[in-house]
Each structure stands twice: as structure tokens, then as C-alpha cells.
Structure 1
């Protein structure tokens, strides 16, 4: 009997300890739930804003892409399935050619010009005095409205009285109808888009250049490496993450751009400068074809998403090869 009582006395503290140990996780779980509730309460304004201005419009755009709607009475939305996509992706449709072709050419041309010019200029600014002044100077087009930029360049491109043609005439060359000729209209707008995008790219690239340690250049200089070799073997590899960010943002901006087209050419002459963003605007606000416009927007979104994934994959593959 005494032995049994002694064993019970030995078990009871362990049982109490186990009960107390079991109560700790329960208390921690309640504390975590309270913290989560408080966190979501603080995040609720942002989540509400996100839902109202992003999630709901996205859902509505998908619904419209599968419907026919004139843009006024929501009760008149008519479900048409994939008819809108069949119409715009028809090979005979102007959305495939020239609109999508123009969009890709516009984005590719502006991105290439912006990247090359911004890398050269950022590298030059990084070696100059008064770097803040030069960065501010190149950033000014970003803070200028698209309407102002487009109209200034329209005057520069004027066949008679424009500054560019004035210089060409002074050199003995004939005037060029930059925005009135279908062969030169799109390249002319591409140059303006690249010029207007330089400021942001230079600002980001100069920040990336500042993060490259000078010791790499000093060691390469001691080994007898020239400026070009240091740029190719040190600057570009270490600048790859910054270049990737600039490339992705510039491609997205180029594929979505339409404000400059509206100001400078209105999509003309003909469809020479008509891009996807401008065509969406036309279909929705001028023709009242909101279903067609939404279908175009979803197709453009998928193209941008696919190109972005491809860029990330290529840069990752390139990084694995160099490492």
C-alpha cells in the first residue's frame, strides 16, 4: 500500500508538469491568433484598396472579355464566350497585324535604345564630377507630362520649320516627313519613347554602379586590364540584377505605351503607329466595344507575362553559366 501511494506521489508532479507544458502551446496559439487579428486589422485598409482597385477590376475585365457590352447599362451585358478572342486573334484581324507587330517593334526598339544609351551614359556619369546635376538633367523628361514631350517632339519633327529638318537642310539634305511617312513614323516615335525613358534607367543604373566595389577595378588595373575589358568583365556581370530590373520595367512600359501615340500620331498614318494600348482605347471609348477591348487587354497581359518569364529564365540561365 505504501508503495502504491509513493508511486502515485511520483506520478502526480509529472502529470501536473505535463498539463502545464500542454497549456503553454495553447497560450502561444491564442497569442498568435490575437497578433494575426491585429495585423489584419492594420492591413485591412490596404487590402480593401487592393481588392477594390485591382482584384474587382481584374474579375470584371475577365467577365467583359467573355461578353458583349456597350459600356453603359450593366444589365445589357451579353455572354458571348470566346467569340471576342476568336475575332481579335483571327489572322485576318488587324489586331494581329499590324497592331501586335507594331507593339512588339515599338517595345523592342525603345528598350534596346534605352538600355544601350542608359548604360553608356550611367557609366560616363559615374566618372564625372557633379553627378547629381547630370542625373537630374537626364531625369527631367520623366517629370514632364507626356503631352508636353509629344508636342515638343512634333515641332522638332516638322517637315518645314522643324529643328531636325532645319539641320538636315543646312547640311544639304532634303526634309524628312518623320511622322507623316508610314516608313518613318513608328521609328520616330520609338526614339521619343527611348529618350523619355532614359532618366529612370540612368537613375537606377547609376545606383547599381555605386554598389560595385572599387577594389575589383583596382585589382583589374594592377593586372593590366583596360577600360573596355573592365567594363565587359566586371561592370556588366555585377550590374546584371540592375539590368534585369531595368529591362523588365522598360519592356512592360513599352508594351503598354499608348499616350505618346495619341499625342504624336493618333495611330497614323493609317495603322503605321497603331499599338495595342491605343487600339484598346479606340475600341472601348470610341467604338463602345468593351468586350473586344477587354479581350485585347487580356491577350496583351499574357504576352507581357510570357516575355517577363522568358527574361527571368534567360538571366537565370546566364547567371548559372557564368558562375
Structure 2
């Protein structure tokens, strides 16, 4: 259609429209409207912010105060500031926090991650090729919904000299092993239980990761004559890297903070063979009444968790860039 309006009329109409739109936009996005939008946003965020303030920020600040004080856990007026004495005491000569407690914590977490990661990858790849996958995932997830006390006590009886594990060893012609009574075998024995109990969540994550890998990759590998081992190392594992990263970090964090299973099975013994940082914090606070040392140990463990997590993220990201 040919425009029959004069050029002056057309330009005037465009000018009117361009003059009107900014005014309306200013009304909708003016300072008063923006303040109203911000107020409404904070109103919706208020319950969540209040929850974090009460259950995260305030306890964190109080723990920081206690880490630089001496307090028996009764009257708030008895809090006695001591500076960094609690932190220096953890690493002083003769202290057991660095060795064996913190060392046990790292070994416990590393062992749990190694066993759980290897086992979950093996089971997840096997389940992916079976029928009734939902049933198998449910069976492996059952230990997750079982209480730690029940899991710990069952395995504790299985590790007894007359228990199931030693019964199998005796049937194979091997001698009995004092799994939880020997300082050399106590920590590895608990690591096996922790890894077994955490397989279910890792398997769920990895099976979901396997489902997200396009089938065309495997078809192309089959056309090229690649074997199962080559397909696993060249296709499955690289494409599972995000899922493996998630499993690795969550399992490591769980291992660093675990103490319930240890307190059920060994109570930190024999000696300090299975004593870990979280259990030591519990003992210092509730058994010895030294809340300052317990809070200082908590912050040291927090730094360890943060550093380990950042290192894991850096390693996985660097491997992703190299590949």
C-alpha cells in the first residue's frame, strides 16, 4: 500500500509516538516503582532470609565467638575470651587433633569416596544394561533410608569373631580377623560400611547421567569397531564427568563430616584409631565441656572442607578443558 500522507505528517506522528513511549516507560520504571518492586521482592524473601539468619548466620557468629573463648556451656556470662589459644592448642605439641584425628578424617573420607565411586560406576553401568532398572535402583537405595544406628549395629555384629564375615573367611580356610578390635583394621572396616551405605545415592545420580548420553555415540563407536573397554574409557567416563564431580564432592563432604556410624560401631576406638574430627568436636563439647576447643575444631574442619572442594572443582574443570 502506498503511503498517501505528507512527509511532514508522517514525521510528526512518529515524533508523537516516540515522545509518548518514554513517558509511559518512566512511569512504569520510575524510582517510586522500582522501590515498590524491591520492597515486594524482599517481602517474599523475608521468610527465607529470617530462616538463614536464625539458623545459619547467628549460630555461625556464636561459634566464631566461642572459638576464641573458653566456655563450659552453661551461663553466657561465663564466656572468657582467650584469643587464638584454642586454635594454637589444636596444633600444639602433644595434641592428637592433627595426628591421628584429622589424618583419620581425611583417610576416612578418601576411602569412602574411592570405594563408593568405583562401586557406583560399576553398578550403574551394569544396571543400565539390565531389565527392571527401577527395581535394582530401589534395592541399592534401601541403605540410604535405613537409620545409621541400624546399619552400624548390623555390620558390627557381622564383623564379630563369630559373625557372618569371619564365617565366610573360615569357610574359605582363612583365619578370623578382629575387624573392629584391631587398630590396623578398624578404620578400613568402617570405611567399607560407609561406602556401602552411600552407594544408593551415587547410583541414582550416575544412572541419570548415563541416560543423558546420546545413543548415537555408542552406535558410531560400534561402527568403528570399538570394544567395550574402549567405549567405556573414551565415551562413557568423559561424558559422565559432571555426574562424577557431583558424586565425588558430595561423598567427600559426607565423609569429612561423618561420625554417627563411627560412634555406633567403634566409639572412636580402639584408642584413637577411628576417631575423626566430628566425633572429637562432639566429645570436646558434650563430654569434656570445652566448647571453645570444639568450635575451633569446627572452623578448622570447615577450612579443610572448603579447600578440598575447591581443589576437586579445579581438577575436574582442568580435565574438562584438556579433553
Give yes or no for TM over 0.5.
yes
How many residues were matched structurally?
309
SS in 1 for 2:198: helix
Counterpart Cα distance in 1 of 2:255 and 2:133: 28
Task: For 2:72 and 2:24, locate their aligned partners in 1 and report how far apart those are by CA, in whole Å.
Answer: 62
Of 155, 178, 182 in structure 1, the residue corresponding to residue 157 of structure 2 is 155
Conserved 8 A contact 1:208-1:242: yes
Tell me whether 1:42 sits opposite 2:44 in the alignment: yes
Q: Is the 8 A contact 1:110 1:191 kept in 2?
A: yes
Q: Does 1:109 align with 2:111?
A: yes
Structure 1 segment 58-97 matched on structure 2, within 5 A: 58-97=60-99
Runs of at least 4 residues off by over 4 Å: 17-20
Alpha-carbon distance in structure 2 between the residues aligned to 1:286 and 1:267: 14
Alpha-carbon spacing, 1:273–1:19, altered in 2? closer, same or farther (3 Å): same
Aligned to 2:267: 266
Check conservation: 1:90, 1:96, Cα contact below 8 A.
Answer: no
Structure 2 distance, partners of 1:41, 1:239, is 41
Q: More deviation in 128-137 or 36-45?
A: 36-45
Equivalent-residue separation in structure 1 for 2:24 and 2:201 (angstroms): 56
| Counterpart check, 1:299 vs 2:303 | no
1:26 Cα deviation from its structure 2 partner: 5.3
Q: CA deviation at 1:32?
A: 3.0
Structure 2 counterpart of 1:244: 245
Structure 2 Cα separation of the partners of residues 119 and 179 of structure 1: 28
TM-score by length of 2: 0.92
Corresponding residue to 1:98 among 97, 100, 105: 100
Aligned to 2:189: 188
Instruction: Give the C-alpha shift of residue 170 in structure 1.
Output: 1.7
1:178-217 aligned at under 5 Å gives the runs 178-217=179-218
Deviation at 1:90, TM superposition (A): 1.8
CA distance in 1, matches of 2:249, 2:109: 11
Deviations 1:261-298 (A, max 9, x none): 10000000000000000000000000000000000000
Structure 2 counterpart of 1:282: 283
> In the alignment, what sits opposite 2:235?
234
**Distance in 1 of aligned mates of 2:187 and 2:69:** 33
Are 1:70 and 1:288, in contact at CA under 8 Å, matched by a contact in 2?
yes
Structure 2 gaps, min length 5: 1-14
Give yes or no for contact 1:268–1:274 (8 Å, CA) kept in 2.
Answer: yes
Q: 1:155 offset after TM fit, Å?
A: 0.7
> Aligned with 1:93: secondary structure?
coil
TM-score by length of structure 1 reads: 0.92
Q: What is the distance in 2 between the residues matched to 1:252 and 1:37?
A: 37
RMSD after superposition: 1.8
d(CA) in 1 for partners of 2:288, 2:100: 19
- Per-residue CA deviations over 1:77-100 (Å, capped at 9, x if unaligned) read 011000000000224210000000
Equivalence for 2:33 = 31
Gaps of 5+ in 1: 1-13
Provide the rounded CA distance (Å) in 2 between the counterparts of 1:119 and 1:70: 47
1:101 Cα deviation from its structure 2 partner: 0.6
